[in-house]
Amino acid sequence: MNSRRTRLLVAGIVAIALVVGVPAVAGAVKSSATWAPWLSMREIAENPPLIILGSSKEWSYPDIDGDYVVFNERLVDGDGTGPGSDPGDWNVYLYKISTGAKTAVAAGAGDQMRPRISGDWVVYEDAAAGNNDVKAYRISTGATTVVASGAGSQDVPDVSGTKVVYATDTPSDQVRMFSLSTSADTLVQDGADSPAISGDRIVYTLADEIVIKDLTNGAVTQVTDDAEYQYSPRIDGDKVVFLKSVGFLDYDVYAYDISTAVLTAVATTGQSYGCDVSGTRAVWETYDGGAPFLQAYDFVRGKTVTLAEDDPTHLTQPMVSGNRVVFVSASTSFFEASGKIRLGTLSAPALTLSVQSTDNYAAAPRLTGKLTENGNDLGAKSLDILRSTDGGHTWAVLGTTTTTSSGSYSYLAPAAYRKAWYRVRFNGQTEGFISTYLSRFSALSDVKSMTPRAYVGTPTGYPSTGKKTKYYTVYGTLKPRQTAASAASKIVTIKCYRLQSGKYVLRRTYNAKVFDYSTYSRYSASVKLPYSGKWRIRAYFKGTSTNAAKYSSYRYVKAY
């Protein structure tokens, strides 16, 4: 199945089948009316419950970015002779969540399809001229820009900022990019299809494989390499999701993390369609014998969860932006016009973290913070305490703690001898309610570091009374053991203070050598106190990348 047109046709068949209600295939039938309670629903476009000739409508292809939702809308009965006899053209509309205002983006003759939104721009296909063209609508001005038109078809556009990507079949199958700021149109990849864009990264299919192109350096990464064909990739930041064909109209969902180069199968049961990703969450629809329902993948937790199911109602075409997901909710009857576009709020746990600093060597730092979810305190929840000793590259679990009824927590970590990085993780759960939300999704706090002070032993080696003309070897303990590079950089000095007019005044400073001794380090310097009288001596460790600066205690001596 290498033809781009064939894949578009298959996608259309899938969308229609899921809306009208295909016969059930073998598989588990989902329980009736089981909306996940933490997925707070709000209808943003609703048909009349019964057919009204000339006014009943249906919806499709929603997309969301921030405060805006775009979607397709058309009349079920376009000519007034009966539902479905002559459906109207598909048009594109914009909905502002905060105000409820609905604006026509493209409502002319012919179908305007597959809208996508990013910031101030909406892009869509326009078939008014026969073949598909790609156009862009600017929300702030209401102006429309032609992105691509002419012979052949230009379709499946996506937008990120002012960059638009689209597919064309003229003069050959290509993925191209158009700049809304400069009007420059450039070739991204010949022979490619199904583009999506996020910032300076474009993902597309090429020879049935998933490929990522980095616009900053031109680097191309092939994500897959197998006999199956991959389709419909979506990208946000360094996260990619896509569909893999495993049979006729049957797809699994895969997720790819660019930062780690890890590819994960996240949905392999049932038939999955319509995936999207935002931040650390991917969403898609799954059909396994009952009505299609919504699922999600949590990149942080590495788990797949069911978002919502409402058999026999079909939940399809989910798109996600932050903690909001928009999707189509439709009946199983083609002519009932009971479809809705719904807006759900995903559970959004948030963790804060503070690390109490300490002036002592090998002190146990105390970690404190709070766990909330959509503004609600999350009490009685288990948290993992993580520590890294290599700057956050690898993490180990130190232990666990439980939040109080107010969502706060406190944990006394093991003693830290060198700089360490800390973070706290909430793993989510599959049951247990907080307000109207179910705490499925995980959360990670920001990373905080603590640099403990070194231990600097009181200098010894100078006698209680010494000769002012003689050098003495003064030495002491330094913990933890220092690296060779640190030891060679004059990290310890010996400071000598003489009592003058009732005050100790710094009169001499000596650089000390640092060397390994037993399981720690030792400092040593030749010291002469050139004037008779009372003196006090102490060592100063200036600090390194792993330990903070520290003075030793004083040693009091006399010189004669």
HEC sequence for 30-75: CCECEECCCCEEEEEEECCCCCCCCCCEEEEEEEEECCEEEEEEEE
CATH number at residue 211: 2.130.10.10
Q: Is there a contact between 396 and 416 (Cβ–Cβ < 8 Å)?
A: no
Same domain, 325 and 362: no
Tell me which of 312, 346, 380 is where a domain ends.
346
**Token pair in block for residue 198:** 């996020």
357: left (phi over 0), alpha (psi -120 to 50) or beta: beta
> Residue 43 CB: number of other CB atoms within 10 A?
10
Same domain, 376 and 299: no
C-alpha closest to that of 134 among 144, 116, 146, 152:
146
Euclidean distance between CA atoms 477 and 509, whole angstroms: 18
Same domain, 337 and 356: no
Euclidean distance between CA atoms 359 and 26, whole angstroms: 66
Q: How far is CA 84 from CA 11, 76, 247, 400, in A?
A: 21, 6, 30, 59
Residue 193 one-letter amino acid: D
Same domain, 503 and 420: no
DSSP track, 201-249: EEEEEETTEEEEEETTT--EEE---SSS-EEEEEEETTEEEEEEEEETT
Q: How close are the terminal C-alpha atoms of the chain, in Å?
A: 97
Query: Which pLDDT value is given to residue 66?
Result: 93
Same domain, 258 and 374: no
Query: Which pLDDT value is given to residue 4?
Result: 53
Q: Is there a contact between 273 and 316 (Cβ–Cβ < 8 Å)?
A: yes
Tell me which of 450, 473, 498 is where a domain ends.
450
C-alpha closest to that of 283 among 327, 341, 238, 342:
327
Q: Phi and psi for 12 in degrees, rounded to 5?
A: -65, -40
| Coil, helix or strand at residue 486 | helix
User: Which residues contact residue 441 at a Cβ distance below 8 angstroms, ignoring those fewer than 6 apart?
Assistant: 281, 298, 300, 301, 305, 346, 347, 348, 349, 428
Same domain, 234 and 186: yes
Q: State the Rg of the chain over Cα.
A: 33
Same domain, 435 and 467: no
Same domain, 424 and 482: no
Diameter over CA atoms, the chain? 118
DSSP track, 75-121: ESSSSSSSTTTS----EEEEEETTT--EEEEE-SSS-EEEEEEETTE
> Residue 225 CB: number of other CB atoms within 10 A?
8
The angle subtended at Cα 121 by Cα 40 and Cα 325, nearest 5°, is 15
pLDDT (tens place) for every residue of the chain, 560 residues total: 444 544 454 445 444 444 443 333 333 333 333 334 344 444 444 432 222 223 467 788 999 999 999 999 887 765 555 555 567 789 999 999 888 889 999 998 889 999 999 999 999 999 998 889 999 999 999 999 999 998 889 999 999 999 999 999 988 899 999 999 999 999 999 999 999 999 999 999 999 999 999 999 999 999 999 989 899 999 999 999 999 999 887 899 999 999 999 999 999 988 999 999 999 999 999 988 888 888 889 888 788 888 777 767 788 899 999 888 888 887 654 434 446 788 887 777 889 999 987 668 888 999 999 999 877 899 999 999 999 999 999 999 999 999 999 999 999 999 989 999 999 999 876 433 222 333 357 788 999 999 999 999 999 999 999 999 999 999 999 999 999 888 888 999 999 999 999 999 999 999 999 999 999 999 999 999 999 999 999 999 999 999 999 999 999 999 99
The angle subtended at Cα 63 by Cα 58 and Cα 69, nearest 5°, is 80
CATH number at residue 390: 2.60.40.10
Indicate the DSSP class of residue 471: -
C-alpha closest to that of 345 among 323, 327, 326:
323
Same domain, 424 and 483: no
H helix or E strand, kind and range, residue 315: strand 314-321
**Token pair in block for residue 333:** 């009857």
Q: Is there a contact between 505 and 496 (Cβ–Cβ < 8 Å)?
A: no
Tell me which of 327, 346, 365 is where a domain ends.
346
| Domain limits for position 387 | 350-450
User: Which residues contact residue 522 at a Cβ distance below 8 angstroms, ignoring those fewer than 6 apart?
Assistant: 475, 476, 477, 478, 514, 515, 516
Residue 194 one-letter amino acid: S
Q: What is the pTM of this model?
A: 0.68
Same domain, 394 and 487: no
Domain count, the chain: 3
Same domain, 274 and 366: no
Same domain, 521 and 425: no
